[in-house]
Amino acid sequence: MKRLAQISGFVISVGILGAIFYFWSREQYEAAGYIMAGFLFVSYLGRVIYALVYEKRTGRTPMHEES
């Protein structure tokens, strides 16, 4: 399951980056900017949700695991 999530995340990332480069090459910078902003927002939101779920399950934050 973890491997499937990694593969699907990679495929989605490549697709989003492909869309950004497509619009950028056609000089539609506004559309490329919106896609980049959405990609960054969703990835940041995903990290926040992961941290909240991890803390609820283990009682520790992911920062405790790094040190």
> Measured between alpha carbons, how far is residue 65 from residues 4, 28, 57 in Å?
24, 43, 14
Res 36: pLDDT: 86
Intervals of the chain under pLDDT 70: 1, 64-67
- For residues 35 and 19, the answer to whether their CB atoms sit within 8 Å is yes
Res 37: pLDDT: 87
